[in-house]
Amino acid sequence: MEEEFFLSEIRANQGIIYKVVSLYAADPEEKKDLYQEILLQCWKGRLQFRGDAKFSTWLYRISLNTVLTSNRKKTMIEYKEVLPESGQLPPIQFEQENSRALQEAIRQLTDSDRAIILLHLEGYSNQEIADWMGISSNSLAVKLYRIRQRLTNLLNAPHHD
């Protein structure tokens, strides 16, 4: 993949990285570290992108794999173009699911359940998610049902401020 094309695709799809990072880290420093690690893994893997899938699908895969397997290495790359000037990542944006409470509830799920619900909310088909996660469609349907129940319970639980 040509460097210029790669950088333009990252810029165009950076919201994907923000969403993944926001669901796997609450601390601003950890978010920035994860964001940088995802960019590094994307850069390292850019030559493996063959165009079989959409760039956004490839970016989701790299992003989720990075956060799920990250040993929190402190390898950083300089890429100021993507990171907003303030150094703060914008809040996660889901169209109808745009709420801080949902974000917090999703963060309480297991890593694999977070990946499943994120892909589901992004509109990936159950078959695509099942293939990606290496499980059957029936198993995914059961998992999604349980994830929705867990989120409903978390969102309806009394809050202690």
Domain boundaries, the chain: 1-93, 95-161
The model's pTM is 0.61
Task: Give the per-residue pLDDT at 159.
Answer: 62
For the domain made up of 95-161, the CATH class stated in words is mainly alpha
What is the widest separation between alpha-carbon atoms in the chain? 51
Is pLDDT at 29 greater than 60 in this prediction?
Answer: yes
For the domain made up of 1-93, the CATH class stated in words is mainly alpha
Q: What does the alpha-carbon distance between residue 155 and residue 13 come to, in Å, rounded to a whole number? A: 29
Class of residue 42 by CB neighbours under 10 A (exposed 0-12, middle 13-18, buried 19+): buried
Q: What does the alpha-carbon distance between residue 29 and residue 35 come to, in Å, rounded to a whole number? A: 10
Task: Give the per-residue pLDDT at 24.
Answer: 83
Q: What does the alpha-carbon distance between residue 95 and residue 100 come to, in Å, rounded to a whole number? A: 13
Report the mean per-residue pLDDT for the chain. 78
Task: Give the per-residue pLDDT at 160.
Answer: 55
What confidence tier does 1 reach under pLDDT thresholds 50, 70, 90? Answer: low
Instruction: Decide: 63 and 38 in contact? Cβ < 8 Å.
Output: yes
Instruction: Decide: 82 and 10 in contact? Cβ < 8 Å.
Output: yes
* % pLDDT > 90, the chain: 13
Task: Give the per-residue pLDDT at 46.
Answer: 86
DSSP collapsed to 3 states, 18-55: HHHHHHHCCCHHHHHHHHHHHHHHHHHHHHHCCCCCCH
Summarised one tens digit per residue, pLDDT across range 60-109 is 989 988 888 774 443 344 444 444 444 444 444 444 444 778 888 888 99
Is pLDDT at 112 greater than 90 in this prediction?
Answer: no
* Residue 64 burial (CB count, 10 A): 24
Is pLDDT at 58 greater than 80 in this prediction?
Answer: yes
Task: Give the per-residue pLDDT at 72.
Answer: 41
Q: What does the alpha-carbon distance between residue 95 and residue 79 come to, in Å, rounded to a whole number? A: 28
Q: What does the alpha-carbon distance between residue 130 and residue 135 come to, in Å, rounded to a whole number? A: 5
Instruction: Decide: 101 and 93 in contact? Cβ < 8 Å.
Output: no
Average pLDDT over residues 138-148: 91
